[in-house]
Chains A and B, each alone.
Chain A
Amino acid sequence: MNTQGPLLEVQDLQTHFSTDEGVVKAVDGVDFTIRQGETFCLVGESGCGKSVTAFSILQIVQDPGRIVRGSIHLRQDDGQTLDLAAMDPKGRALRRIRGRDIAMIFQEPMTSLSPVHTVGDQISETLRLHAPIDKLQAREQTMAILTRVGIPRPERHFHAYPFQLSGGMRQRVMIAMALICRPSLLIADEPTTALDVTMQAVILDLIKELQGEMGMSVMLITHNLGVVAEVADTVAVMYLGRIVESADVYSLFREPKHPYTTALLRSIPVIGLTKQERLATIRGMVPHPFNRPHGCTFHPRCDHFMPGVCNRSLPPITHLEGGRTVRCFLYGGADTREREER
Chain B
Amino acid sequence: MLTYILRRLVLMIPTVVIISLVSFAIIQLPPGDYLTTLTAGLEAGEQVSQGQLHYLTERYGLDKPLHVQYWRWMSGIILRGDFGQSFEWNRPVKDLIWERIGLSFMLSLSTLLFVWAIAFPIGILVAVRQYSLWDYFWTFIGFIGLATPNFMLALILMYVAFRYFGQSVGGLFSPDFVDVPWSWARVLDMLKHLWIPIIVLGTSQTASLIRIMRANLLDELHKPYVTTARAKGMSEISLLAKYPVRVALNPFVSTVGWVLPRLVSGSVVTAVVLNLPISGPLMLRALKAQDMYLAGSFILLLSTLTIIGTLLSDILLAWLDPRIRYT
Q: Which residues of A contact B (CB under 8 A)?
A: 55, 58, 60, 62, 90, 92, 95-100, 103-104, 106-108, 111-117, 125-126, 129-130, 161, 163-164, 174, 177
Contacts and interface: CB of A to CB of B under 8 A. Distances in A.
Interface of B: 222-225, 227-236, 242-243, 246-247, 320-323, 326
B247 A115 contact: yes
A190 to B, nearest CB: 12
B222 A104 contact: no
A98 B230 contact: yes
A272 to B, nearest CB: 39
A90 B227 contact: no
A177 B225 contact: no
Given A116-B321, A161-B323, A111 B231 contact: no
A114 B243 contact: yes
16 contacts: A60-B227, A60-B230, A90-B235, A95-B234, A96-B233, A98-B231, A99-B233, A112-B228, A113-B228, A115-B225, A115-B247, A115-B322, A129-B234, A163-B322, A163-B326, A177-B232
Interface residues of chain B: helix, strand, loop or mixed (majority): helix
Given A114-B243, A115-B323, A98 B233 contact: yes
A62 B225 CA distance: 13
Given A116-B320, A161-B322, A163-B323, A108 B232 contact: no
Contact of A62 (B222, B229, B246): B222
B323 A58 contact: no
A55 B231 CA distance: 9
Contacts of B247: 114-116
A106 B227 contact: yes
Contacts of A130: 233
B73 to A, nearest CB: 46
B227 A98 contact: no
A130 B247 CA distance: 25
Contacts of B223: 111
A95 B242 CA distance: 17
A115 B229 CA distance: 13
A116 B231 CA distance: 19
B224 A111 contact: yes
A164 B224 contact: no
A58 B322 contact: no
Contacts of A103: 231-232
Contacts of B322: 115-116, 161, 163
Contact of A113 (B225, B234, B236, B323): B225
User: Which of B222, B225, B232 has most chain A Cβ within 10 Å?
Assistant: B232
